Amino acid sequence: MPDINILEIQPEAAQKSLTRLIEGDADILSAQLQQLRARAFPPTAQKELRRFMAGEAANLVGISDAYLRTLVLDGVIPEAEKNAAGRRLYSLEQIHAIRDHLGKSKKGYLRRRETGQHLQVLAVTNFKGGSGKTTTSAHLAQYLALRGYRVLAVDLDPQASLSALFGIQPEFDLNPNDTIYGAIRYDLQRPLKDIIQKTYFTGLDIVPGNLELQEFEHETPRALTDKSSSRAADRMFFTRVASALKSVEDDYDIVVLDCPPSLGYLTLSALFAATSVLVTVHPQMLDVASMSQFLHMTAGLFDVVERAGGNASYDFFRYVLTRYEPNDGSQSQIAGLLKGLFGDRVLTHAMVKSAAISDAGITKQTLYEVGRENFHRQTYDRAMEALDAMNGEIDDLVKQAWGRK
């Protein structure tokens, strides 16, 4: 029987290179995104955080609006700018300054960790896409910064959605080694402090991500199989993220790691760097089944790494229900199942599914960045109440880990 060239009997369209097709579509989409960004934010423009109403500012500091006004009248803090309606507006920098002033007489106003309290590294993880992992990470990091903590957000996801939320377009704004890969690679490392970028959120810095992070997944197997004595330390790959963070621990109170949606070497290194772990769960049966596989795989890999000398101790481990619809009967059943199985390891408060959160995401913003006036008030208030309750619960766990009341 003569040899048959399959390409000869396939349609013409099937003979075209899939590589070139995907590459072309990527270029088209990237160029369009750049045009949209240039239209919305001119080249010289920088993303800015909104100003906060007096009531919001007072709530963030933990005082009454009347007391805030008294501080202004007494000249303790400068007069805030006013909008067209005559309402006082405060920047986050001003809010931090108020908190620092009040903290001189009462430490309760200050959230920063004290001597002897270790850096809290919160790893937000799940290897199934659509679990709300990055949305949870972004809102958590911003919530903590709004309340006066010194926060570092680290984007470990090659898709770089967290970076995009902070106004960074990875393919245009980053050079080689501008991600944490530059600090954990097996040769020619950069100090992490040189990679960290300031954000428009005072008190919140970021280590951005992009596709370069995949290099760690490719290089680590080679390091593990290299038996030369000079590469012995490289075989402890799971310590690399922790070592990088150790170099900047004095500059921060809390680190939020947005882990990759896969259980690779980078995720394992992040989990071993973490002092606490948050697993995001969308309460649907397929997602829960996927999480079961994730937990089995994680436990197996952790066992291997622990036997190699890794330390898997932690302060707290919690499941976080995301995109939760409390009026959906099936989701309520799954939520009840998880709480019945794992008890208080499931956060009491969930990140609810909300049009307000989704609409804010269209413009690459979180709900904390968008004012109440941009939404139906009840929709905004319900979403904000749920977010604050969930993040506040995590905040309380952090304080417990530090031995605070």
Q: Is 235 exposed, middle or buried (0-12, 13-18, 19+ CB in 10 A)?
A: middle
Which range scores top for mean pLDDT: 50-64, 195-209, 231-245? 195-209
Gap between the terminal Cα atoms of the chain:
81
Q: Retrieve residue 177's tokens.
A: 């080694």
Q: Taking the CA of residue 317 as centre, how many other CA atoms within 13 Å lie in the half-sphere pointing to its CB?
A: 8
Q: How confident is the model at residue 232 (pLDDT cuts 50, 70, 90)?
A: low
Structure tokens at 138: 């972004």
Report how far residue 149's alpha carbon sits from residue 110's, in angstroms, rounded to the nearest whole number.
Answer: 8
pLDDT classification of 37: cutoffs 50, 70, 90: low
Q: How many CB atoms lie within 10 A of CB 229?
A: 7
> In the predicted model, is pLDDT for residue 228 greater than 80?
no
Q: DSSP state, 158?
A: T
For 129-170, what is each residue's pLDDT tens digit? 677 899 999 999 999 999 999 999 999 999 999 999 998 988
For residue 145, which of 193, 200, 202, 100 has the smallest C-alpha distance? 202
Mean pLDDT in residue range 183-200: 95
Rounded Cα distance, 378 and 376, in Å: 6
Give all domains of the chain, ordered by start, each with its CATH number: 52-109 (1.10.1660.10), 120-401 (3.40.50.300)
Say what the pTM is: 0.87
Q: Which residues of 318-347 are buried (b: 16+ CB within 10 A; e: fewer)?
A: bbbbbbbeeeeeebeebbeebbeeeeeebb
What pLDDT, on a 0 to 100 scale, did the predictor assign at position 8? 46
- Beta strand pairing call for 276-281 and 120-125: parallel
